[in-house]
Amino acid sequence: MYFDQHLHSRFSQDGTPPIANIAAAALRRGMTAITITDHFDLCDAEIGYQFYLDHESARREEFERVREQYAGQLEIGWGLEIGHPYQMPDVAARFLESRSFDFILGSVHFLRDGSDIYLIDYDSSATIDRVFTEYFTDMLDLIDFGGFDSLAHLDYPLRVMRGKIGEPTVLPWRHLIEPILEKVVEKGIALELNTRGFMDWKKRQEPEDWVLRRYYELGGRLITIGSDAHVLDAVGVAVPDAAQKAYELGFREVAYYRNRQPTLYPLQPVCIRTAEAARAI
């Protein structure tokens, strides 16, 4: 059973596909269930939370129509990706208290000075270190605020550092990541395996293997998988690869959220080749 729990429709400021097209693409890619998680970034920028509010009614109407259309073929969850709610805690709290969702991702896209991580000029190792230090510090504040179910794309800044950093790893900032993983486990928050990395220079899931191993060592067992698709071609891409990686690292279940509660489904090995199987070929 394959679930894509990180999808952006035309109701995200940086998304393009209608929800119906996402559903059709998910079926073609063998998904069992999906969750539409459009952005709700707590900032005053043009791409901030006001964009979501301006389109909220149309989003709900389209979602309900598509969910009914695909009933019995594909389960479609009502989700959200909330960004840095600690920057506008009152606005975020009022919003979350007045609405219900199946699933909420928590993320950081902007630093506290308003810098969009995608648009920073990574012109020196000092800049890279500053961004990661601020990013992981803010992630702790995100977890402290709470209100979400799964921590999204833990190593997000690496996406735009090709050619700026030698290897696609966050290992130099392990001392900042360790308390994040500890707090996620303590609070019962899931950790997302984001498949976007398979499609860029990292050629792997986000976050990397050592982060997932450490999460598991600390007692973390809740994981979700999502493509972070903003275009149709990315819907459901590499979800089986992420599921396979999770199995290889020791995870045996993947969570799918309904009404903010996880239902655990067994992970099955896709293509593990044991020594005996390899010799038999």
List pLDDT tens digits, range 44-85.
877 789 999 999 999 999 999 999 999 999 999 999 999 999
Task: Render pLDDT for 107-152 as a digit per residue (tens, 0 to 9).
Answer: 999 999 999 999 999 999 999 999 999 999 999 999 999 999 999 9
**pLDDT band of 270, cuts 50, 70, 90:** low
Q: What are φ and ψ of residue 140, in 5° steps?
A: -65, -40
Share of the chain above pLDDT 90, in %: 92
- Tell me, what CATH number does 229's domain have? 3.20.20.140
Domain that holds residue 167: 3-280
Rounded distance between C-alpha atoms, residue 156 and residue 197, angstroms: 9
Number of domains in the chain: 1
**pLDDT band of 189, cuts 50, 70, 90:** very high
In this prediction the pTM is 0.94
In this predicted structure, what is the pLDDT of residue 45? Answer: 74
Average pLDDT over every residue of 192-217:
97
Average pLDDT over every residue of 252-268:
97
Q: Which two tokens stand for residue 137?
A: 């510090």
